[in-house]
Structure 1
Amino acid sequence: MAHKPEELQEVLHYTFKNPALLRIALTHTSYANESKVATTHNERLEFLGDSVLSVVVADYLFHQSGRPEGELTRMRASLVSEDALFQFAQEIQLGEYLRLGHGEDLGGGRSRPSVVSDAFEAVIAALYLDGGMEAARNFILPFITEGKTAEDDYKTRLQEVVQQDPSAVLKYEVTGETGPDHNKQFTVCVWRNGELLAEGRGRSKKAAEQHAAKVALEKLQ
C-alpha cells in the first residue's frame, strides 16, 4: 500500500506552501499517462533538481576540501550518481510515496533505481521552488555528509589496510535496527577473520558500515 504524497512532508521536516509541487515531484510518467484527467508528471522537476543538487554538492565539496579540481569533479560525480541517489532515496523510503501507473507499480517501479533516483531529484526541485535554495540545501546536506562519499570511503581504506595480510577476510553484519521506518538507526559490526574489530551506527546500513570501518581504522592505526 503506497503512502500518500502529503505524508512525505513529515519525513522531509518541511511543510510545503504549495503542496501541488510535492505531488508533481512524486508523479511518474506512467501515472500521468493512465490518468483520465490531465496530470503533470515529474520529468521537468527532475531536470531542475539535477542542477540544484549539483550546485549544492559542488558548493559543499569546494568549502570542505582543498582538493584539486579533478578530485572534486570525481567526488561530485560519486555523490550525484544514480547509485548514490537511489541509496539516499531508500533512506526515506521514497518509493512508497510515488504515484505510479498500474503496470509500473506491478512491475516493481517503487524499487527501480532509475524511477526512484529521478523522483529524488524532482523532490529537490520541489523544495527549491517552494522554499528556495536553503530548503533544498537543508534536505540534501544530511545525505552527502553521512555515509559513503568519495572523500571519506572508510570501507575501502580499511580493506587496503587489512589486505596487507593476504589471508585476512572482512565481514560486515547488521546487528541492530531501531526507530520508525522514516527515521531508522542501524548498528553494524565489522569482523576480521571472525574477530570483532568495531561497531558502527547510521541511518542506513551503508552509513553504519562506513562508521564501523572508520572506528576500526582508528583502532588499527
Structure 2
Amino acid sequence: MAVRKPHGTVLSFIEAYWRKHQNSPTVREITTGTARSHGSIQNSLKWLERNQYITRRKRTSRGIKVVNFEAYDIPPTELSELEGIPIRGEIAAGYCHEPATEDHGYLNIEYNGRKPNDYVLKISGDSMVGAGIPDGAYVGIRPVADDYQPGPGEIVAVYVEGQGATLKHFFQKESVVVLEAANPKYEPLIFDLDDCELRVQGTHIFTHWQSTALS
C-alpha cells in the first residue's frame, strides 16, 4: 500500500529525525517539524501504525519505530562519533518527584559504548553522592525492556506511579522492592508491587560532572 502524502510526510520526518539524532521524535517535535496540527499528526501516526509502517511503544514519548528502517542498523562505534547525547530533562536523586521530561539540548561528550536510544538526565538532589553522582551531575541512561530485572544494587532510573521518578540502587525480594540511596541521611524507599505500579525506565551507564550542554 502506498503512503498517501499527509502520512508520507510524517513518515519521512521520523526517518530524517532518526538519521540526525539517533532517536525517535516526540509527537510535539513532529507537529513542529511538519507544521501540522496535533490532531492531524495523531491521525497520521494511527494510519501508519495500522498499516504496519511504524510501531509505537506505550508510556514513552519516544517510542515510535519505523518498520524495516535501514538506519537502525548503524553500528555503536559510529554512534559514539555523533555530536552529543540528548538530554531528556531531570531526575530526582532524593525522594520521588515527577520527572522534567522536556529536551534540554545535548551533552557534548564522547562515549564509546553508546547505543541509539541512550540519553542523559540531570541529577537533582544528593542522595546518590556516595556512588559518585553529585547534585547537578549528568547521568547516562540506557532504556530497558518492560520485563527487565535489575541485578541487586544496580543503579536504575525508576518511576513509581503516583509519586514520580528517582535514581537509586535497586533491590528486590519477591514482591518487595527497596530503592536505596548512597547517602546515609536518606532512608530506603520500600514498595510492595502488589500495592503499586513501579517501572524500571533505564540503567545508569555513566556519570559526567561539570559538563557543557549543546543547544
TM-score where L is the length of structure 1: 0.24
User: Which one has a larger percent strand, Structure 1 or Structure 2?
Assistant: 2
User: Which one has a larger percent helix, Structure 1 or Structure 2?
Assistant: 1
Which is bigger in relative contact order (C-alpha 8 A, separation at least 6)? Answer: 1
TM-score where L is the length of structure 2: 0.25
